[in-house]
Structure 1
Amino acid sequence: MKNIIVPFVSACLFLSACSMDEVPQASVDKETVFSNEKGLETYSYSFYDMLPSVTNGYNQDAMCDYGAVTNYDDFIRAGAYSPEVSTGWDWTDLRNINYFIENCTNEAVEESVRNNYIGLARFFRAYFYYEKVVRFGDVPWIDRTLTVDDELLYAPRDSRTVVMDHVLEDLDFACEHITRTSDETGSLVTKWVAYALKSRICLFEGTFRKYHTELGLTDTADKWLQEAANAAETVMNESGYSIYTGAGEDASFRTLFISNSPVTSEVMLASVADEGLGVLGSANWWWTSGTYGSRFSMIRSFINLFLMTDGTPFTDKPNHEQIEFYDECQNRDKRLAQTIRTPGYMRDGKPAAPNFNGYSYTGYQPIKYTLDDSYYDAGALNTNAIPLFRYAEVLLNYAEAKAEMGTLTDADWANTIGVLRARAGITGGLNAKPTKVDKYIQETYFPEISDPTILEVRRERSIELALEGFRFTDLLRWKRGDLMTMRWTGIYVPKLNVQMDLDHDGTTDVIFYKGETPTGLPSSCTPIAVDGGDVTRQGLTGSNSGNLTWYDNDPSRVWYEDGRQYYYPIPKSAINLNGNLKQNPGWE
C-alpha cells in the first residue's frame, strides 16, 4: 500500500532525505482524513510501506555469515565502507507517523477507534526505531513533527536506553489498543503481531545488553528478556496461532514460503503479491539466475547444523566433512530438503540437482522462496506471499529469552523447540532440554557459550529462520559479528576429473577439474575449474580432493577487531548538517 497522504511540512534538516526548501506535495484535506474512521484507516495504509515487500522480502539475508556470494557487501570489505558512503539515516517515515499521531485527536471519532489507529502508528514507530537502533545504536528520539526552526533539528543523539524505553512504551500502547485480532488476508497488523514485534525487539535488546558488556547495561538485560518472554507467551496462550503441519513433514515448512496466500494458521503477517495490480516478486529470478542477484550459496559449516532425524548431530559422524552430497542429505532434518536442493528435488516435473551451470558455488542452492516451475525464473513473476511474522519465531523468541535467563523448563522446551523439530520429522530429544554440549556448534560458532540449552536454541533459530532476514541482526546481538569472515566451503569432492551424479538420478551433473577443461561431456555435466586463482575463485580444501571453497584468494573480507561494525557509521552528510551528531566509534 502506497502513501496517499503527505504531511504538510518537510522540515528534516538534520534528518536527511528531506530538503529544507522542499515544496509540499498536494495532500488530502486534513479534516477529511482525521474526522472519520475510514480516513484513519486509509492513512494507516501508508505505514505498511515500511515493511519488506514481495519485491525484496526474499533476500533479506543477502548479507550473512552462511552465504557465499558473487560480490559481498562493502560493509565487510576492508577499507570499502565509510561515513561518506553510509546510508539509512532517513526519517521520512517517522515524520509521517508522528504527523498522524499528533492529528488523530478529532472527538468526532470514538476514542477507542482513535486509540486503535494510534496504536497501529506506534507499532510502526517502534518498528522504525528498532531498525534505527540496530543500525546506528544511539539515535535522536523524535516524537513530534518538526518545524523549520525547531531546536530538535540540531539535537544530539539520545542514548539507546532512552530510545528503547520509548520504543517499549510504544509497543505496550500498541499491544493494549490495537483492536484487530484476526485477518484472513494475513496482510494487516493485528494485536498479536504487535505482541510478536514486542517479543522480537525485547529479545534483541536483552541479548544485546547481555553480550555487549562494554555498554555497562548487563544488569538491565533480564528486564528486556522477561518482557520478550511475556509478550511471546501472550501470543502462545491467547492468539490461536499454531505450527502448520497440514502438508506433512516433507512439505509443510516450505509451503509457508511458496503459497500465494499466507498460511494464516502460522503466518501472522505477510507481504502479498497481486497479479491484478502487477505487484509480483522476483524470488525465482534471484535464487536461480547466474546474472541477477548474488548467486547466494549456503556453506558447509551451516548445513552441518541440521540434525539427523533421530535428533543426533550430523557432525557426530566420523569424517563428516568428507561425506558426499547424496549421503549427507539422507535422514536429515526435513527442513534441509525444504531449504536447499537435495536429492529428490524436482523442477518442471524433473529431477533438479544443485545448479553449478551458472548459479551455485558450494552445491547448497536455496529453494525456500522459489517456485518449482521454471516459468517464474525469467523476471519479476513470483506470485508467492512473503511471511514477515510467523508463530514459529514467537516460539523461538520465548525459548531463547527464557534460556538466556536460565528459566527454560522441559515443558517450555517441548512446547517450543520440540514442536518445531517434530514438524521437521525429528524424533529424538523433543520433550526435554539437552544436557550435553554439542562440541561442533560450540567450537565452530559460539565458543563462549557452555550452556547446552542456549546452544541448541541458537541452532534451532538458525535453521528455522534461515534466509528470513534475522541472521545478521542475530550475530550483532550475540556479539559474533566475526562470523561474517567464516570460510566459505561447500560439498565434498572425492576426486578430480570424475563426473558426479549429485542426486543419483542416473544423469551426471558436474565435474571438477584443474588445468585443461575436460571434453566429451554429456550436456547435463558442467565442468567447473577449482584452481582457486583470481580467475575462478573456486577452489578445494585439498590438492586433488576436499570441500569446495569460494573466495579463498580474497583476503579483504574483514570484521574489525575494534568492533566498529556492530554499528553503521552516521553518514557524513548528516553530521555536516548537524554538528551535534557525534560519529560512532571506529568510524571517525
Structure 2
Amino acid sequence: MPTILYNPLNNKIRKILFIGILCVAATACNDDFLEKTPETDIDAGSFFNTEQDLNLYANNLYDFPSTGIYTSEAYNLTDNAFSTGNVELKTMVTTNPSSTTITGGWEWGQLRNVNFFLDRFRKANITEDRLNHFEGLARFFRARFYVDKVKRYSDVPWIDVPLEANSEDILFAARDPRETVVNHIMEDYEFALNNVDVSAPTGAVNRWVVKADYARFLLYEGTFRKYHTELKLSNSASDFLQKAVDVAKDIMDNGSFQIYTTNKPNEDYGSLFANADLSGNKEIILARFYQANVLNGDSGEGVFGNYETYPQKNLVQAYLMKDGSFYSRQPNYQQNEFVQEFRDRDPRLYQTYAYPGWVLVRSGTYAQGTGLYVQQLAKNFSGYHQIKGFYNSTDQDTRNNMDVPLYRFAEILLIYAEAKAEIGQLTQSDLDITVNQLRDRVGMPHMTLNPPIDPVEVAKFPNVTSVQRAEILEIRRERRVELAFEGQRHDDLMRWEAGKFLENEPQGIYFASLGKHDLTGDGIPDIYLLPASQSIPNNKETNSLGKVLQYYRVGTFGQDVSLFLKNATSGNVQIIEDMGIFVSPKYYYRPIPQQQIVLNPNLKQIFDWE
C-alpha cells in the first residue's frame, strides 16, 4: 500500500506551504458550550461548493500539539517531570478542589466547527468518493475532540448536529453515559479509517494517521476500563484491547513504516527530536513541520530546565543497565550520585537527559554558561536537565527549522505489545517485532517472555495481576523510556489507575555528603556544598582545571538556603515539601464547571464532585 509520505523533489517547499495553511488552526476559538457558531462567519450559500472550499475549512480543524509535547508531562503532573507552576492536578492534590475552582476544559468550539462542516459539506460538486474523504476527516476530528472530553469527564453530552438558536434539546442536554459516547467515537473512527485518503501531502491527515490515533485511543479505553472498577465496564475491556491489537497490526503489516536507524545506537533515537526534516523519515506517521522565516518552530529554552519544568529522578531510575538488568539491582542504587547513575545505562538515557560530560552550546539565561555541562542547582528544581526536544544550537534559524514528531511507528509497536500482554496472548514473536526492534536501535539486549520481575515496578503497579504480569511491567517500562517527554505519561498513569503514585514527593539528584562533588565525570570537583550555618566565601576555591567551584548553602525546607536536601546535609534534592493526596477515583476525572451547572441544571456531577 502507498506510504504516508509525499516526496516530490521540492517536498520541503510544498510541506511548508501546506503547514502555512494549517497554522490558522492555532487561532481556533474556545467558545462556551452555549454559544452558537455565527453563520455570518462563513456564508453557507457561497461556500462549501468546491473541493478547495472543503480543504480550506478542513485545514482549520487541525488541532495537533507541537513543541509543547516536550514539557506537557510536567505541566500535566507525572512521575517523569515536575513543574514549579500552579498546574491543575498539583493544585488538586494539595488543596480541596471543587467545581468552582476547577473550571477549565469545558470548551466546545471545535465540535461546533466540525458539526457545522458535516451539515454543509455535501453541497460541494465533487464525487462521492471525495465527499466520503472529507466526511471521514471531519469525523476523525470529532472523535479526537470527544476522546479528550471522555478522558476528562467520562460522561458528556453527545452532540452530532449544529447548534441553532432554538436547539433547547442541545442547550439543556444531560450527560450521556461513557459507553454511549465511546460507541459514537468508534463509529467516527471506523468511518474515517475506511474513507480518508490513504496518502496525503506531508503534514496532512491520511488513513495511517487515523489508524494511529484510533489505536492509541483503543489501548487507553481498554486499559482504563480494565483497571478502573468504578466504571463497572471491565467486561468490555478485552474487546477494546483486541481491537487495539488489530488496528496496530494493520499499520505494522500494511503501512510502509519502520524504526529509524543508521546503526548509531548513541545517536539515532535522539536525532528524531532535533531534526530539520522528518518528511522522509519512515518512522514518522505524522509530524509538525517548520521552516525558518516561513513558519518558525523552536522548542524554547524552558525545555532544558530551570524555568518551570524539569525531569525527575524516578524516570532516571527506570532505565535499564546496558546489559539489560534492572538499575535497582545495583548495590545501594538509591544512593548513587549523578556521575555513577549514568554509568552503563540504556543509551536512550543519554539522548534524553543531560549527562556527565555533555556540552551545552545554547546557554540562554542558564547561569553556568556554555561548555562542559555543570548543573545549575536551585531550590524547587531537581538538578536534572532535559535534552530531548531541546535544540542545542545558537543559530535561531536552525532551531526554527526543527520538526516535531507526533505519531511514531515506535508507539504503534508498543501499543501492539501492551495490548497483547493485557489479554494474555503475547508471544516471543510479538516481542521480536515490537519491543526488540526498539532495543535493537539502541543496542540493548532483547526482552524475552517470562522476564525477571523488578520489585520496584511491582510496588508501583500492585493492581497488575494478569497472567502475563511480568511482561506487562516490562512493556510499561519500555513505553516509559521510549516515549519519555512526548506527552504520553500522564494518560498512561491515569489509564493504569496509578494516580496514587503521584503522592510520592518528586526527587532530584543525590548527594552523599557536604563538601566537593564532581558532576562532569572527570574526577575533578565542580561544586561545593556548605551547611546552612556557613556563608559562601568571597574567595572561592578553584579546581585543577582552573574553574571556580560553584558554592551552594544547603539545608531543609524553611531554612534560608540555596538547596534543599532530604537529610539537610545529605540525600536527594527536595523539590516540594508535601505532594498532598490523590483522591481515588475522584481525581481521575474533573468536575463540570459550576457555572455550566447553573446554566444547565440537567448536567449533574459524578464521582463525588460538587
Give me the TM-score of the superposition, normalised by structure 1: 0.90
| Residue 383 (structure 2) aligned to one of 355, 363, 366 | 363
| Residue 567 (structure 1) aligned to one of 589, 592, 598 | 589
Alignment deviations for residues 393-451 of structure 1 (CA, whole Å, 9 cap, x no partner): 11111111111000111100111111111212212x34x223321112112x2123251
527-536 or 96-105, which moves further after superposition?
A: 527-536
| Residue 567 (structure 2) aligned to one of 530, 537, 542 | 542
| Residue 461 (structure 2) aligned to one of 439, 442, 446 | 446
Cα distance in 2 for partners of 1:182, 1:511 equals 57
Query: Is residue 46 of structure 1 aligned with residue 60 of structure 2?
Result: yes
Query: Is residue 373 of structure 1 aligned with residue 401 of structure 2?
Result: no
Alignment deviations for residues 129-151 of structure 1 (CA, whole Å, 9 cap, x no partner): 00111111111101110111111
The aligned residue for residue 127 of structure 2 is 110
The aligned residue for residue 184 of structure 2 is 166
Secondary structure at 1:104 match in 2 = helix
| Residue 219 (structure 1) aligned to one of 214, 235, 239 | 235
- Aligned-pair CA distance for 1:481: 0.7
Secondary structure at 2:555 match in 1 = coil
- Aligned-pair CA distance for 1:90: 0.5
- Aligned-pair CA distance for 1:504: 2.3
Cα distance in 1 for partners of 2:605, 2:454 equals 41
The aligned residue for residue 503 of structure 2 is 485
Change (3 A) 1:422 1:312: same
Secondary structure at 2:515 match in 1 = coil
> What are the within-5 Å matches in structure 2 for residues 121-160 of structure 1?
121-150=138-167, 151-160=169-178
The aligned residue for residue 464 of structure 1 is 482
Change (3 A) 1:363 1:434: farther
The aligned residue for residue 533 of structure 1 is 557
Query: Is residue 318 of structure 1 aligned with residue 334 of structure 2?
Result: no
The aligned residue for residue 558 of structure 1 is 581
Cα distance in 2 for partners of 1:524, 1:477 equals 48
The aligned residue for residue 286 of structure 2 is 269
- Aligned-pair CA distance for 1:388: 1.3
The aligned residue for residue 317 of structure 2 is 304
Alignment deviations for residues 349-398 of structure 1 (CA, whole Å, 9 cap, x no partner): 9753253256983232111011112456xx99643222111111111111
Alignment deviations for residues 160-219 of structure 1 (CA, whole Å, 9 cap, x no partner): 100001111111111111113354x3x211111111111100101100100011211111
Gaps of 5+ in 1: none
Secondary structure at 2:485 match in 1 = coil
Q: Is the 8 A contact 1:351 1:505 kept in 2?
A: no
Cα distance in 1 for partners of 2:568, 2:385 equals 25
Change (3 A) 1:357 1:25: farther
Q: Is the 8 A contact 2:377 2:563 kept in 1?
A: no
Query: Is residue 100 of structure 1 aligned with residue 117 of structure 2?
Result: yes
Cα distance in 2 for partners of 1:327, 1:506 equals 11
Q: Is the 8 A contact 1:59 1:467 kept in 2?
A: yes
- Aligned-pair CA distance for 1:345: 1.7
Cα distance in 1 for partners of 2:166, 2:398 equals 45
Secondary structure at 1:258 match in 2 = coil
The aligned residue for residue 196 of structure 2 is 178
| Residue 36 (structure 1) aligned to one of 45, 50, 53 | 50
- Aligned-pair CA distance for 1:469: 1.0
The aligned residue for residue 19 of structure 2 is none
Secondary structure at 2:247 match in 1 = helix
Change (3 A) 1:116 1:353: same
The aligned residue for residue 244 of structure 1 is 260
- Please tell me the residue identity of whatever aligns with 2:575: W
- Aligned-pair CA distance for 1:320: 0.8
- Please tell me the residue identity of whatever aligns with 1:526: Q
| Residue 228 (structure 1) aligned to one of 210, 226, 244 | 244
Change (3 A) 1:240 1:572: same
Alignment deviations for residues 487-533 of structure 1 (CA, whole Å, 9 cap, x no partner): 222222122022x2212247643333321233214465333333122
Secondary structure at 2:265 match in 1 = coil
- Aligned-pair CA distance for 1:328: 1.6
| Residue 287 (structure 1) aligned to one of 294, 303, 306 | 303
Secondary structure at 2:111 match in 1 = helix
Alignment deviations for residues 448-474 of structure 1 (CA, whole Å, 9 cap, x no partner): 325100000110111111111111111
Secondary structure at 1:362 match in 2 = coil
- Aligned-pair CA distance for 1:584: 2.8
Alignment deviations for residues 288-321 of structure 1 (CA, whole Å, 9 cap, x no partner): 464xx41x23222221110012111111111111
Cα distance in 1 for partners of 2:394, 2:161 equals 49
Q: Is the 8 A contact 2:391 2:399 kept in 1?
A: no
Cα distance in 2 for partners of 1:176, 1:486 equals 45
Secondary structure at 2:73 match in 1 = coil
Change (3 A) 1:434 1:318: same
| Residue 100 (structure 2) aligned to one of 55, 80, 84 | 84
Cα distance in 2 for partners of 1:237, 1:410 equals 18
Alignment deviations for residues 548-580 of structure 1 (CA, whole Å, 9 cap, x no partner): 2221x3x253312x4211001111121111110
Give me the TM-score of the superposition, normalised by structure 2: 0.86
Q: Is the 8 A contact 1:307 1:313 kept in 2?
A: yes
Cα distance in 2 for partners of 1:344, 1:233 equals 41
Q: Is the 8 A contact 1:76 1:559 kept in 2?
A: no
187-196 or 102-111, which moves further after superposition?
A: 102-111
487-496 or 356-365, which moves further after superposition?
A: 356-365
Q: Is the 8 A contact 1:341 1:354 kept in 2?
A: no
505-514 or 243-252, which moves further after superposition?
A: 505-514
Q: Is the 8 A contact 2:352 2:388 kept in 1?
A: yes
- Aligned-pair CA distance for 1:73: 1.9
Cα distance in 2 for partners of 1:528, 1:421 equals 40
> What are the within-5 Å matches in structure 2 for residues 473-512 of structure 1?
473-498=491-516, 500-505=517-522, 508-512=525-529
Q: Is the 8 A contact 2:556 2:566 kept in 1?
A: no
- Please tell me the residue identity of whatever aligns with 1:530: V
Change (3 A) 1:304 1:6: closer
Secondary structure at 2:273 match in 1 = helix
Cα distance in 1 for partners of 2:26, 2:568 equals 63
Change (3 A) 1:511 1:343: same
The aligned residue for residue 208 of structure 2 is 192
Change (3 A) 1:326 1:4: closer
- Please tell me the residue identity of whatever aligns with 2:606: N
Query: Is residue 577 of structure 1 aligned with residue 594 of structure 2?
Result: no
Change (3 A) 1:556 1:256: closer
Percentage of identical aligned residues:
32
The aligned residue for residue 395 of structure 1 is 413
- Aligned-pair CA distance for 1:114: 0.9
Cα distance in 1 for partners of 2:195, 2:127 equals 13
* Count of residues in correspondence between the two structures: 564
